[in-house]
Structure 1
């Protein structure tokens, strides 16, 4: 019997370790930063150590630690020279920050549909979205899998565009032996507590190879100031923000970074083990990893396919809801992530922006911008069918191991094979509830 119907759950409470994976060395690093925190000064040593370590890890010589991945992306947009009315291409299926960072520069996000296999921006559709206003492309390494950077780089170079990597979900992954964080002109990465490189709280990393871009990004980080030498002149050259990272968050992230290669290897092994264990279970489609790329499974995305069970009369949405309810009841954390493409969100449908329709109505943008969800059919289909494992609630990171992944697969086998009739009945109830 399904647990949702009163049966015994497959995974007992507490059997899956949460993320991040915290060791005594992480605690020691935070306590050490606490001891160094007075007298207050900027930048503090743990912040500099994090920046230096990320530079060494990625090979990007110029790094700034920020208080979020959103801040790091905004810094990259500004460092790319994006100005009011300029346009930046963004994948339609991503987290809001990939697009809102463009709005923060008073510029216009222009969305591009995604690939059904990789969930990442589709390079074949990029050219048709480029206009005379386009200044940059944001490529998101969604779920933990790098985008197609060779194809995107060819387009960016040919068109003279900056290629900005949103590496928020993929620290530790690689693209043709190159690390995430070093795949674009610049990169912005999140250190949110759930991420594969975690600050436990919030944090971000900006990285570039160009000293001038670094200088521009640093202005945005700290009140628009130039920060000459070792002191401050308290003279804002541009509109800047306070994007400084918390020193304790920086110390925790720096400690975690020492173990990132090994933790990433475990994530790759766990993802491969889960995919193998799910082989042959109908009704769901596991993720794929293109040759030459590695995946670190911040999310392990699954697409539900009621057609695989011959349920042509059950709406996809009802089947997805039934799978989610049933799997969660068996003790496996699963959820729906991003229920609609970003351009379908209210912000882009109503074009209110940050007041009076800006930046679309501020006089610098070309007229006629509108966001039509039907222009992104693949992203819409992914959002309609997607459920995800991973993050903090069903982590593929250590200390969870391939045995844990087989237990995850046992849940799906029970729900979709052993108790299929009960799942179908639940899906039909979900369909009736939605009417």
Structure 2
């Protein structure tokens, strides 16, 4: 019997450990940072330690810590030389910040559709979107899986474009043996508390191979000033922000980074175990991992497929019933990004940051609009997607293969053992 109907939930309360996993080492690192934080100075040792460690991890020689992944993305766009009226190609299916960072440069996001297999930006669709105004491409390592950087690099090089990596969800993953964060000209990573590399609160990391990009990004992050050594001249050269990371967040993230290799191994093993266990569960499509890359499962995305069960139910009705039934079994499952980013009102109504800017500010080419028909794969993915992972049903340590068995048991119960009850739930929902 479904838990919704009075049955016993498959996953008992407390059976799944939350993320991030906090250890005594993390606590000591934060306390040590507190002791070293006075007298106040910048940059603090913990910030520099984090930057050096991320540089070693990614192979990127220049790293700046920031107060969020969103800030790091803005720094990357500015450092790439994106200016008013320029166009930047971004995925239609991503988090808003991948596109809003372009608006922050008074430039125009141009959306490209999704690869149905990997959920990453489709390189062929990117090539179709290039115009004489295009300055850069932002690829996203969505859910924890790297994009296809060889194909994207070919497009970028053919048109002389900067390639930026949004690595917010994929710390620890690899593409053709190379680590996320070091797969493009520059990269931005989030350290949001739920991320695979966590600052517990908020934080970000910008990384680049280019010394000039590093200098420009540092201006953006520090009030537009040019920093020389330890001194400040309080003379803004450009419009800048205060994107400095909190020292306690930096200390926590640095401590977590010391365990990233091990936590990545656990995530990869747990994801593989869950995918294997779901092989006998119809009606959902687990994530696909190409042979040339690894997945760290910040999200474990599932696409609902009522057609596979010969059910004449609307996809959204079936999806909502699955979500409700699985959640009642004690397994944290949720929708994520219910619509492609260009379908959000910010873009549908060309609101921008006021009076239609940047589209109406005189620098952009006229005629920009964002039509649903241009992103059919992203629309379908957003319609069908439910996710496990993040903090509420983490695939990270200390969760194990046994935890993944519980995940699979909950899904098997709902979609196989109690399918009739699930269908009734869906049909009742249609009546309501």
**Partner secondary structure for residue 302 of structure 2:** strand
Count of residue pairs the alignment pairs up: 432
- 2:216 equivalent to 1:216: yes
Decide whether the 8 Å contact of 1:264 with 1:296 is kept in 2: yes
Q: Which string of whole-angstrom CA distances, capped at 9 and with x for unpartnered residues, describes residues 290-340 of structure 1?
A: 0110000000000000111110x2100000000000000000000000000
**Partner secondary structure for residue 200 of structure 1:** coil
* Equivalent residue number for residue 423 of structure 1: 422
Post-superposition offset of 1:128: 1.1
- 2:74 equivalent to 1:74: yes
Decide whether the 8 Å contact of 1:315 with 1:431 is kept in 2: no
Instruction: Give me the whole-angstrom Cα distance separating, in 1, the residues matched to 2:100 and 2:429.
Output: 34
Post-superposition offset of 1:77: 0.3
Instruction: Give me the whole-angstrom Cα distance separating, in 1, the residues matched to 2:300 and 2:194.
Output: 14
* Equivalent residue number for residue 340 of structure 1: 339
Post-superposition offset of 1:125: 1.1
Q: Which string of whole-angstrom CA distances, capped at 9 and with x for unpartnered residues, describes residues 175-194 of structure 1?
A: 00000000000000000000
* Equivalent residue number for residue 227 of structure 1: 227
* Equivalent residue number for residue 371 of structure 1: 370
- Aligned 1:349-388 pairs, distance under 5 A: 349-388=348-387
* Equivalent residue number for residue 63 of structure 1: 63
* Equivalent residue number for residue 87 of structure 1: 87
- Aligned 1:33-182 pairs, distance under 5 A: 33-182=33-182
Instruction: Give me the whole-angstrom Cα distance separating, in 1, the residues matched to 2:26 and 2:381.
Output: 37
* Equivalent residue number for residue 306 of structure 2: 306
* Equivalent residue number for residue 239 of structure 1: 239
Decide whether the 8 Å contact of 1:416 with 1:423 is kept in 2: yes
Post-superposition offset of 1:4: 1.1
Instruction: Give me the whole-angstrom Cα distance separating, in 1, the residues matched to 2:335 and 2:429.
Output: 15
Post-superposition offset of 1:228: 1.1
Q: Which string of whole-angstrom CA distances, capped at 9 and with x for unpartnered residues, describes residues 8-63 of structure 1?
A: 10111111000001110000000000101111111000000000000001010000
Instruction: Give me the whole-angstrom Cα distance separating, in 2, the residues matched to 1:161 and 1:383.
Output: 29
Q: Which string of whole-angstrom CA distances, capped at 9 and with x for unpartnered residues, describes residues 204-225 of structure 1?
A: 0000011000000000000000
Instruction: Give me the whole-angstrom Cα distance separating, in 2, the residues matched to 1:99 and 1:365.
Output: 16
Pairwise CA RMSD of aligned residues? Answer: 0.5
Post-superposition offset of 1:142: 0.1
Instruction: Give me the whole-angstrom Cα distance separating, in 2, the residues matched to 1:335 and 1:301.
Output: 10
Instruction: Give me the whole-angstrom Cα distance separating, in 2, the residues matched to 1:293 and 1:158.
Output: 24
TM-score (structure 2 length as normaliser): 1.00
Instruction: Give me the whole-angstrom Cα distance separating, in 1, the residues matched to 2:140 and 2:105.
Output: 19
* Equivalent residue number for residue 329 of structure 2: 330
**Partner secondary structure for residue 358 of structure 1:** coil
* Equivalent residue number for residue 278 of structure 1: 278
Instruction: Give me the whole-angstrom Cα distance separating, in 2, the residues matched to 1:171 and 1:361.
Output: 37
Instruction: Give me the whole-angstrom Cα distance separating, in 2, the residues matched to 1:432 and 1:168.
Output: 40
Post-superposition offset of 1:124: 1.1
Instruction: Give me the whole-angstrom Cα distance separating, in 2, the residues matched to 1:412 and 1:160.
Output: 47
Decide whether the 8 Å contact of 1:314 with 1:431 is kept in 2: no
5+ long unaligned stretches in structure 2:
none
**Partner secondary structure for residue 126 of structure 1:** helix
Instruction: Give me the whole-angstrom Cα distance separating, in 1, the residues matched to 2:192 and 2:102.
Output: 20
**Partner secondary structure for residue 71 of structure 2:** helix
Decide whether the 8 Å contact of 1:273 with 1:405 is kept in 2: yes
Decide whether the 8 Å contact of 1:91 with 1:138 is kept in 2: yes
* Equivalent residue number for residue 390 of structure 2: 391
Post-superposition offset of 1:432: 2.3
Instruction: Give me the whole-angstrom Cα distance separating, in 2, the residues matched to 1:374 and 1:394.
Output: 34
* Equivalent residue number for residue 405 of structure 1: 404
Decide whether the 8 Å contact of 1:190 with 1:204 is kept in 2: yes
TM-score (structure 1 length as normaliser): 0.99
Q: Which string of whole-angstrom CA distances, capped at 9 and with x for unpartnered residues, describes residues 84-118 of structure 1?
A: 00000000000000000000000000000001110
Post-superposition offset of 1:430: 1.9
**Partner secondary structure for residue 280 of structure 2:** coil
5+ long unaligned stretches in structure 1:
none
Decide whether the 8 Å contact of 1:335 with 1:387 is kept in 2: yes
Instruction: Give me the whole-angstrom Cα distance separating, in 2, the residues matched to 1:377 and 1:146.
Output: 21
